[in-house]
Amino acid sequence: MNVRILTNCSCTVAAALLLLGSAGCAFKVVRPPPLVVGSAEGGNVRVVKYPAYILVHDSQSNWDLHQIKDNAVGLTEGEVVHWLDMGIDGVTPGPPGHPIENGIEWIKNNYAQLPDCAPVRVVGGLFYALGLEKITLLSGATKIIWAPTDPISYLAVLRVIYLTDWVQETLGEVNTGAGHLVPWPGPFVPLAVTAPVNRGVDWAQYGSVELYIYVVHKISVGLDDALDGCESAYGGVVWCFVRTR
Amino acid sequence: MGVVAGVLGFAGGCATVERVEPVVPGTFAVPANQAWTSTGIALELKQKLLIEEVEHPRQVLIKGIKWQTVTARGTYLFDVETGPYPLEPDRVHGDTRYPGYCLIGRIGEDGVPFFVGTHFQGLAPQAGTLWLGINDPTPQLNRGDFRCRISTDYPDAPEPAPAFTEAETRTEALDNPEAPKPVPKPAKPLEQPKPVPDANVVIIYVDGLRPDVVVEMAQWGQMPNFRELFLDNGSWVRNSFSVLPSLTLTNFSSMITGDYSNRNGVKMQAYYDRKANVYVDGLSVRYFTRFADELKARGVKAIYDYFPDTFSSTAMPYEPLRANVLQLNLAEWLHRAVNAANYASNIRNKMDEVQTRYALDLASSPKVKVMLVWLPGNDVVSEQTPHGQFGGARPTIARMDGDLGQIVERLKIRHRFENTYFILVSDHGHAGGHDIVNQRFDVKREVFHAYLQMNVVGAWYRFNYPGAPKSRLGAVADYDGAVGIFIPLGSVDSGDLSTPNTYEQLAHYGLADGSQVNAVELFAEYSAMGRWPLKDTSKRPVDFAVAKVDADTVLLYKTMDRQALIRARLNADGIFEFKYEPVRHYETGQPVEPITTGDPLGYLDSEAFRKEVRNVPRWMAGYHTGTEWLQATYRTEYPGCVNSLNLYFRWDGPVTKDSPVPSQPGILLFASKGWVFEPKINLANVHEDTLGSRHGMAFREATNNCLFVSGPGIRKGVIIESPHRMVDIMPTVLQMMGRDPNSAEMDGRPIREIWEGLQ
Ligand SMILES: [Zn+2]
């Protein structure tokens, strides 16, 4: 690198360091010790010298870009219930007890004790599909981070899939129930008719969930790739800073 | 205070010491707020001593706080200290084998403290007065006392009957020419297990859990749920072993497919993709579906394919992008995970908690019949604390017991417990921590750089050799106790990584200056400072290397003088059989030079091996199946390595036109006791972990895995001696679910001995 370029880049360097430094980004310069190679016969020693390395990625630091990304994304998954529990646990001495979450689990466990009949299954299924207890505080932000161009939140997509599943199962219950009223054995609408329809709907539901997970994964990996790029660029910037000294 | 009423104030030499008198005859109260208390009982050297906590002891309040309670057993579940504990003053904080705040003893004022807990039975290590105390460096604020009975006599245990092994009678009949010929039994169909109808199977997969450690902790009263479910009411398959190498993804693959790597194709958890020329680290998030995709592409069925509508799991080491049971999918897992861990980047620190929270959702769903719960915390912590599961991993294991308890309780509440089979399994053992703290061997610097002058890409980073052309590239998965070595075909500069070298090519491997070396010899026997001393192979990092000789044969290479060929062939029933042929100075095309001692796996010099096979020369002359080899070697230091090492270098999987061939390393290196293949300087990450215990190696400590089974019709409170391995789990699960375990043609066989009435 010649002097002119160095001067040109020092402003950028300073700006970049200031920016990343204020975000808590740290770096470490590592100089591997030279490698001394002794020959098998005991003489003839060769020494391998290594350049210095600049490390930026820190898997343990909450200020590492990857961690910041994960946490920003994760924020949109935070349940209202969870935040309330955190608040309560924060002011109660002793280990966290998650009172609201455990209360909800208690209700669910007790609901499950009701006799296994169609109305119980239908109502239980509806509550599961709605997933009221899983409502997040920042679902609006979900849209922005996951799908800036897509007006529909992916979380909403999941709920829609679950609700179609519930509708499907409820129709099945009604069909089975109505089967008692008709003279032929089995459900009201024979299985030969419902089975292919159900299979089709199932396929679409599984496919949608799979697509959702695929997209989430791709976005996350894409962001990681971008951050790797940022980190190596930052490493490069630090490198020219270190070399000038 | 009634408790103190029984304690006579007695000011001895030290003001803080009170002498304890029995509160009721024979029962002592040991105050928890002082370090040591004299019992006044004088012991002679090697005198019998029995200390037992009373039944229903009252709780001691540590630092007087009501949610920090213990009894004499102490606890791993909280730790409010910062300094070392009196029982283990040399251990750094957070890396102790014994629980904090437990009852401890010493003989004499200067005696070395020993662990008492709820039960101590042994001989006095020296003469003097017995003192009891609490394993707490700052006991002053504690409230309450430990109550125990002390006796200087106990009945001697009867001599244990010699353990019966099926092998002894079987090999006597099969392999000893002088043995009476067995009377042929009238052929009748083998009685089959009768699992309950509408069964559930819950697989608790605790990564890297050592069976000896979990049993020890259970005996100390630290694992109440585990003890009740598996030790008191289940069967322990004590001689269960992982496939080689004892790495997570290879063994998880064998667990969920029932096959060895020659049929599922998972050879390594990180590898160089020879087709695409990229380095694949199966443990990184980026590749978390990769191995599942590969299984599918190879036409291999896994647990989620056998139970398409009823299988569901927490996050697994790898998994397909599929919604197994609708509504219980990865998206829901992520949601639970973030909320259980408080924030996303904390998930990896709280994986067991996260997984258990999600497992409760699975346990609540009647749709889920087969459920797999992966608890990776133990492996992670073991790898980062010097003494692993004999140190800092124990609190994680103790918390795992609580996780198990929660899952069991949920199944009980939902009336599903009665027809549920539980399998607690670990994918491998863990080496180090007990008597050795591991050290690192940097194969990139010490061999690739020192002798091949080659750039290397690995699990952490690409480490260039200064001055080497960019294209001169090798690869290695440099973490854990086994690594696969990928080097270009024929010579360092061929640039051809598309196929692995054979032993012939490796033995005459071309360097940049045109000279040739034996690459296997270099990797097995050299560091940058030259050849490790041949006399004492126990001090060098590499245990042995393995390379492929031809389609059916591999060579185990410990030193030039200590090698073995493992040959494979198919028998008349289409089952693989193997011959283990110890040799020296192996060279392709030359007549072999057999050896009769010092073979790489140590079988020829093993008393346990001789006892199992009776006639060693006769056994060595023949071919035997993998099951027979496991039976012959399960009590040696290298259980069941023969078939596993040969199959590793094969690919016999279900091959379709487009079915990809697994990327196979040219050399497989196994670490010796006390060593791990890992760089000393981390050039990928600012943060550097402490080196703890590891796995991957071929020896027993790394391969003996947990296998505990419980459920309706499963034998209770028994230890099963006959050996088994990872591939047997999947067929056993099929059997529990009422399927025909043989219909899937897996390598594994269902475990019969766990069922009541089928011994
Ligand atoms: Zn593992």
Q: Is B674 helix (H, G, I), strand (E, B) or coil?
A: coil
Instruction: Give the per-residue pLDDT at A41.
Output: 59
Dist. CA B266–CA B167, nearest whole Å? 31
pLDDT band for B17, please (50, 70, 90 cuts): very low
pLDDT digits (tens, 9 = 90+) for A140-156: 444 444 444 343 444 56
Instruction: Give the per-residue pLDDT at B184.
Output: 57
Instruction: Give the per-residue pLDDT at A110.
Output: 83
pLDDT digits (tens, 9 = 90+) for B350-387: 999 999 999 999 999 989 999 999 999 999 999 999 99
Instruction: Give the per-residue pLDDT at B162.
Output: 52
Cα→Cα distances B139→A179, B67, B142, B148, B422, Å: 72, 16, 6, 19, 41
Query: B211-219 and B394-413 are packed helices; what angle lies between their axes, rounded to 10 degrees?
Result: 80
Task: Report the percent of chain B where pLDDT is more than 70.
Answer: 92
Dist. CA B713–CA B633, nearest whole Å? 30
pLDDT band for B721, please (50, 70, 90 cuts): very high
pLDDT band for B11, please (50, 70, 90 cuts): very low
pLDDT band for A100, please (50, 70, 90 cuts): confident
Instruction: Give the per-residue pLDDT at B697.
Output: 97
Q: Is B153 helix (H, G, I), strand (E, B) or coil?
A: coil
Domains of chain B, earliest start first: 7-151 (2.60.120.430), 200-260+301-430+693-754 (3.40.720.10), 439-677 (no CATH)
Q: Do A51 and B683 touch (CB under 8 A)?
A: no
Residue B643 is inside which H or E element, if any?
Answer: helix B641-648
CB-nearest partner of A57 from B343, B530, B684: B684
pLDDT band for B606, please (50, 70, 90 cuts): very high
CB-nearest partner of B323 from A38, A62, A209: A209
A90 touches chain B (CB under 8 A): no
Ligand 1 center to B673 CA (angstroms): 18
Instruction: Give the per-residue pLDDT at B563.
Output: 97
Instruction: Give the per-residue pLDDT at B277.
Output: 84
- pLDDT surpasses 50 at B8: no
pLDDT digits (tens, 9 = 90+) for A177-211: 777 777 777 777 777 777 777 777 777 777 777 77
Ligand 1 center to B345 CA (angstroms): 21
Q: Do A36 and B364 touch (CB under 8 A)?
A: no
DSSP result, B285-348 = GGGTTHHHHHHHHTT---HHHHSTTTEEES--SS--S--SBTTBSHHHHHHHHHHHHSSGGGGG
Confidence (pTM)? 0.87
Residues 124-143 on A with a CB inside 8 Å of B are: 128-129, 134
Q: Do A210 and B286 touch (CB under 8 A)?
A: no
Tokens 């009373």 belong to residue: B54
Assess: ipTM above 0.85: no
pLDDT digits (tens, 9 = 90+) for A11-31: 444 444 444 444 445 677 888
- pLDDT surpasses 70 at B22: no
Instruction: Give the per-residue pLDDT at B10.
Output: 33
pLDDT band for B14, please (50, 70, 90 cuts): very low
Task: Report the percent of chain A where pLDDT is more than 90.
Answer: 0
Instruction: Give the per-residue pLDDT at A44.
Output: 65
Instruction: Give the per-residue pLDDT at B41.
Output: 93
Instruction: Give the per-residue pLDDT at A245.
Output: 35
DSSP result, chain A = --HHHHHHHHHHHHHHHHHHHHTT---EEE-PPPEEE--TTS---EEE----EEE---TT-TTSHHHHHHHHHHHTT-BHHHHHHHHHHHHSSSS---HHHHHHHHHHHHHTTS---HHHHHHHHHHHHHTGGG-BTTHHHHHHHH-TT-SS-HHHHHHHHHHHHHHHHHHHHHHHHHGGGSSSSS-SS-HHHHHHHHHHHHHHHHHHHHHHHHHHHHHHHHHHHHHHHHHHHHHHHHHHHHHT-
Average pLDDT over residues B388-395: 96
pLDDT digits (tens, 9 = 90+) for B47-83: 999 999 999 999 999 999 999 999 999 999 999 999 9
Instruction: Give the per-residue pLDDT at A42.
Output: 59
Average pLDDT, chain A: 69
Instruction: Give the per-residue pLDDT at B646.
Output: 97
Which of B336 and A228 is assigned the larger pLDDT? B336
Task: Report the percent of chain B where pLDDT is more than 90.
Answer: 73
Q: Do B321 and A53 touch (CB under 8 A)?
A: no
Q: B398 CB contacts (<8 Å, ≥6 apart)?
A: B75, B76, B77, B217, B222, B223
Instruction: Give the per-residue pLDDT at A156.
Output: 63
- Mean pLDDT lowest for which of A194-198, B180-184, B709-713? B180-184
Q: Best of A206, A224, A227 to disrupt the B interface by mutation (most B CBs within 10 Å)?
A: A206
Residue type, B111: G
pLDDT digits (tens, 9 = 90+) for B235-280: 999 999 999 999 999 999 999 999 999 999 999 888 888 888 888 8
pLDDT digits (tens, 9 = 90+) for B537-567: 778 999 999 999 999 999 999 999 999 999 9
Instruction: Give the per-residue pLDDT at B44.
Output: 94
- Mean pLDDT lowest for which of A52-66, A114-128, B384-398, B576-590? A52-66
A202 touches chain B (CB under 8 A): yes
Ligand 1 center to B675 CA (angstroms): 18
Residue B172 is inside which H or E element, if any?
Answer: helix B166-175
Instruction: Give the per-residue pLDDT at A239.
Output: 53
- Residues in chain A with CB shorter than 8 Å from the CB of B319 are none
A32 touches chain B (CB under 8 A): yes
CB count within 10 Å of CB A80 equals 16
CB-nearest partner of A205 from B326, B332, B345: B326
Which of A83 and B219 is assigned the larger pLDDT? B219
Task: Report the percent of chain A where pLDDT is more than 70.
Answer: 60
- pLDDT surpasses 50 at A3: no
Chains A, B: CB pairs < 8 Å? 134
Average pLDDT over residues B147-159: 85
pLDDT digits (tens, 9 = 90+) for B578-597: 999 999 999 998 999 999 99
Residue type, B619: W
Ligand 1 center to B206 CA (angstroms): 8
Q: State the smallest CA–CA distance between residue A146 and chain B in angstroms.
A: 13
CB B311 within 8 A of CB B737: no
CB count within 10 Å of CB A180 equals 8
